[in-house]
């Protein structure tokens, strides 16, 4: 381009378009003339006040819109920016134009044809549609020339925003500031497994205080390594998510760092995966110093490999849900500082772990048997500990109510006692980094003389949960410790079913809510802990 042409383009930044017009006839002509001269598309990004934010020069077929994530979406989900650009041929809006419109949530996408002698010709313009039954995301219109374009932009946008907000209000509460998520699963597992896992992801989201708007399942024959799903599908999902007013995409599968980056490049929606969601829940729920250190460590280790170069805004990675990143870490943190912090936390963890070791060895010396309660999250482990030992460990109908080990004494007659510890719940696809991070907490289990594997027998998927727990015990090398299978929540099942289940799995039935159901369990506990002595039935 000649200097004079560059200058001519730069001068456009000084212009201001009246709020009622998409673009003035005069400016349109200015654009088409330059376009004609340089044989390239020219585009403008214009805000609601009529100020020109970007002047973009493309090639003869397309323009590339710069990153607009600094311009936040409004309440209606529009970005408050329109794109007006030239088309050298007599072409309607291209697929890319329409995808940009929908993905970037522009007010309008406008293409002005460069007509004869560089005069403005036909105008094609598209706008976003509210969610509708046809599934269409955009509407495209046309005028024979910019002078024929009879549209008061300000009132058109007001009406469009009103309609978008009204439609959105049917499904989401716009005053609700919680994150709104779309769940996505791309998997080659069976349909049933995929759905089960998504149900659990939905529970996790609920635990993290996230509203779930919708879910997408794709079961491709081949996994696309770049976006996990196919590129077209990825666009489609993002567009629909935006249309529904989502703020967050949660993948049920773990995303490789490069996948997070590719998907995040499509949209400024936050993108997280199952592990990150679990980490986030852990971060909110850890209360002890030990727990906090372990979670922050896991979060930092998760983030580190995802921090390659620029590209993806750190805030979006660190943010987790609702902007709660690990500890004090903020935007300006770089990789080196993260590494330093990891080292510091690891040292702290070691010293915390030494303290634990001392406590443990003291206990071991005292010769008191140790029983650890393990099991899937929400099985009722803490409720059982509380009921057995009359204590008040937090219980909740949420996943991962317990993160920190709680240790209590259970007294038996004849001045005998056992130490019972409650532990963090297990879950399938537990992120390996977390398992590692919780090793310190899980160490407690290594000393156990007996593991009480508590199962929520009322859960339709209890069998899978049992095997998930057993697999994790195996991974932790804890399968050598004797185990007792306890079927909990039997108050929710018919008695004959309970009897049959317990026979089949050689399990003991209890209801942690009902102390009267503990007799058989206590009897077995006593026998296992003191095999040599007779149970004292009196006093
Ligand atoms: N109906 C019924 N509900 C129970 C029983 N035991 C526990 N619950 C409920 O199950 C939910 C989970 O109980 P928790 O004791 O928090 O479960 P947990 O295994 O410690 O869970 P995490 O710490 O999250 O891994 C709570 O809402 C309890 O009230 C039972 O025997 N019967
Ligand atoms: Mg618990």
Q: Is the dihedral of CA 513, 519, 525, 530 positive or negative?
A: positive
* Of the candidate ranges 102-111, 153-162, 292-301, the one whose mean pLDDT is the lowest: 292-301
CA within 13 Å, CB half, 210? 30
Asked if the model's pLDDT at residue 260 lies above 70, the reply is yes
Q: What is the pLDDT of residue 441?
A: 65
Going from the Cα of 377 to the center of ligand 1, the distance in angstroms, rounded, reads 9
Percentage of residues in the chain having pLDDT higher than 70: 91
Asked if the model's pLDDT at residue 432 lies above 70, the reply is no
Asked if the model's pLDDT at residue 323 lies above 60, the reply is no
User: How do residues 167-205 score in pLDDT, each as one tens digit?
Assistant: 888 877 878 888 999 999 999 989 988 998 999 999 999
Determine if ligand 1 sits within 6 Å of the CB of residue 511. Answer: yes
Q: State the Cα–Cα distance between residues 464 and 456, nearest whole angstrom.
A: 11
What is the arithmetic mean of pLDDT over 337-356? 85
ipTM: 0.98
Contact of 432 with 280, CB cutoff 8 Å: no
Q: Whose CA is nearest to atom 8 of ligand 1?
A: 380
Token digits for 164?
């978008």
Q: Whose CA is nearest to atom 32 of ligand 1?
A: 489
User: How do residues 88-127 score in pLDDT, each as one tens digit?
Assistant: 988 899 999 999 999 999 999 999 999 989 999 999 999 9
Q: Which ligand is nearest to the CA of 398?
A: 1
Q: What is the pLDDT of residue 431?
A: 67
Going from the Cα of 393 to the center of ligand 2, the distance in angstroms, rounded, reads 8
40: Cβ–Cβ under 8 A, 6 or more apart, which residues? 57, 58, 59, 60, 88
Residues 315, 348, 204, 219: what is their CA dihedral angle, to the nearest 10 degrees? Answer: 70
Going from the Cα of 38 to the center of ligand 2, the distance in angstroms, rounded, reads 68
Q: Which ligand is nearest to the CA of 379?
A: 1
Ligand 1 atom showing the smallest separation from residue 386 Cα: 15
- Residue 332's pLDDT band, with cuts at 50, 70 and 90, is very low
What domains lie within the chain, and their CATH numbers?
3-171 (no CATH), 180-272 (3.40.50.11060), 280-344 (no CATH), 367-529 (3.40.50.300)
Tell me if residue 225 falls in helix, strand or coil.
coil
Q: Whose CA is nearest to atom 11 of ligand 1?
A: 397
Of 378, 400, 441, best ligand 1 pocket probe by most atoms within 8 Å of the beta carbon: 378
Of 383, 386, 427, 487, best ligand 1 pocket probe by most atoms within 8 Å of the beta carbon: 383
Q: What is the DSSP letter of 255?
A: P
Q: Whose CA is nearest to atom 21 of ligand 1?
A: 378
Asked if the model's pLDDT at residue 472 lies above 90, the reply is no
Taking Cα atoms as reference points, which of 504, 511, 519, 435 lies closest to residue 473? 435
Going from the Cα of 423 to the center of ligand 2, the distance in angstroms, rounded, reads 7
User: How do residues 480-535 score in pLDDT, each as one tens digit?
Assistant: 999 999 999 999 999 999 999 999 999 999 999 999 999 999 999 989 888 876 55
Q: Whose CA is nearest to atom 3 of ligand 1?
A: 489
Ligand 1 atom showing the smallest separation from residue 426 Cα: 25
Of 207, 278, 380, best ligand 1 pocket probe by most atoms within 8 Å of the beta carbon: 380
Q: Whose CA is nearest to atom 17 of ligand 1?
A: 380
Distances in Å between the alpha carbon of 83 and those of 48, 54, 415, 457? 11, 9, 80, 58
Tell me if residue 315 falls in helix, strand or coil.
helix
Contact of 391 with 335, CB cutoff 8 Å: no
The pLDDT mean for the chain works out to: 86
Rounded to a whole number of angstroms, the distance between the first and last alpha carbons of the chain is: 100
Q: What is the per-residue burial (b if ≥16 Cβ within 10 Å, else e) of 25-41?
A: eebbbbbbbbbbbbebb
Q: State the Cα–Cα distance between residues 314 and 270, nearest whole angstrom.
A: 11
Determine if ligand 1 sits within 6 Å of the CB of residue 378. Answer: yes
Going from the Cα of 380 to the center of ligand 1, the distance in angstroms, rounded, reads 3
Going from the Cα of 400 to the center of ligand 2, the distance in angstroms, rounded, reads 7
Q: What is the DSSP letter of 189?
A: S
Using DSSP bridges, classify how beta strands 416-422 and 42-47 pair: parallel, antiparallel or unpaired.
unpaired
What is the arithmetic mean of pLDDT over 277-302? 83
Going from the Cα of 472 to the center of ligand 1, the distance in angstroms, rounded, reads 20
Determine if ligand 1 sits within 6 Å of the CB of residue 203. Answer: no
Alpha helices per DSSP H over 304-400: 314-318, 335-366, 381-389
Q: What is the pLDDT of residue 327?
A: 41
Going from the Cα of 280 to the center of ligand 2, the distance in angstroms, rounded, reads 17
Contact of 275 with 433, CB cutoff 8 Å: yes
Determine if ligand 1 sits within 6 Å of the CB of residue 512. Answer: yes
* Of the candidate ranges 173-187, 266-280, 351-365, the one whose mean pLDDT is the lowest: 351-365
DSSP H or E segment with residue 17: none
Distances in Å between the alpha carbon of 242 and those of 62, 141, 322, 381? 24, 22, 17, 40
């Amino acid at each position: 381009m000649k200097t004079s042409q560059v200058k001519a383009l730069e001068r456009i930044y000084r212009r201001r378009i009246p709020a009622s017009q998409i673009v003035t006839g005069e400016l349109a002509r200015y654009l088409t003339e330059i376009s004609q001269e340089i044989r390239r598309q020219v585009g403008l990004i214009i805000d609601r006040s009529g100020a020109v934010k970007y002047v973009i020069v493309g090639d003869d077929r397309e323009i590339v819109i710069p990153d607009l994530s600094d311009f936040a979406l409004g309440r209606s989900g529009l970005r408050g920016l329109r794109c007006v650009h030239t088309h050298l041929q007599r072409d309607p809006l291209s697929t890319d134009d329409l995808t940009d419109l929908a993905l970037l949530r522009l007010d309008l996408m406008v293409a002005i044809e460069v007509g004869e002698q560089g005069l403005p010709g036909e105008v094609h313009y598209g706008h976003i549609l509210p969610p509708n039954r046809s599934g269409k995301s955009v509407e495209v219109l046309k005028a024979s020339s910019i002078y024929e374009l009879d549209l008061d932009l300000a009132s058109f946008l007001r009406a469009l925003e009103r309609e978008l907000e009204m439609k959105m209000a049917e499904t989401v509460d716009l005053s609700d500031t919680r994150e709104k998520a779309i769940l996505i699963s791309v998997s080659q597992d069976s349909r049933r497994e995929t759905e089960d896992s998504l149900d659990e992801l939905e529970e996790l989201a609920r635990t993290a205080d996230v509203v779930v708007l919708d879910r997408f399942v794709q079961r491709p024959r081949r996994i696309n390594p770049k976006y996990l799903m196919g590129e077209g599908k990825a666009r489609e999902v993002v567009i629909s998510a935006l249309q529904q007013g989502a703020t967050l995409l949660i993948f049920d599968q773990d995303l490789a760092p490069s996948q997070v980056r590719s998907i995040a490049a499509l949209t400024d929606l936050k993108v997280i995966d199952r592990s990150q969601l679990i980490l986030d829940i852990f971060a909110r729920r850890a209360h002890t110093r030990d727990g906090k250190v372990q979670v922050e460590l896991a979060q930092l280790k998760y983030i580190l490999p995802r921090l390659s170069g620029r590209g993806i805004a750190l805030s979006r990675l660190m943010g987790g849900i609702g902007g709660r990143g690990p500890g004090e870490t903020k935007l300006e943190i770089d990789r080196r500082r993260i590494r330093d912090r990891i080292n510091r936390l690891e040292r702290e963890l070691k010293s915390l772990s030494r303290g634990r070791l001392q406590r443990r060895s003291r206990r071991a010396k005292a010769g008191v048997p140790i029983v650890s309660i393990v099991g899937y999250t929400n099985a009722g482990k803490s409720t059982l500990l509380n009921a057995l030992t009359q204590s008040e460990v937090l219980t909740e109908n949420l996943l991962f109510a317990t993160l920190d080990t709680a240790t209590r004494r259970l007294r038996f007659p004849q001045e005998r006692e056992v130490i019972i510890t409650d532990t963090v719940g297990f879950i399938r696809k537990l992120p390996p980094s977390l398992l590692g991070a919780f090793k310190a907490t899980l160490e407690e289990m290594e000393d156990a003389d007996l593991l009480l594997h508590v199962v929520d027998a009322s859960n339709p998927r209890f069998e899978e949960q049992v095997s998930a727990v057993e697999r994790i015990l195996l991974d932790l090398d804890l399968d050598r410790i004797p185990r007792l299978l306890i079927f909990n929540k039997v108050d929710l099942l018919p008695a004959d079913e309970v009897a049959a289940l317990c026979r089949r799995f050689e399990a003991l039935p209890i209801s942690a809510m009902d102390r009267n159901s503990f007799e058989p369990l206590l009897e077995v506990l006593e026998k296992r802990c003191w095999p040599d002595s007779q149970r004292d039935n009196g006093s």
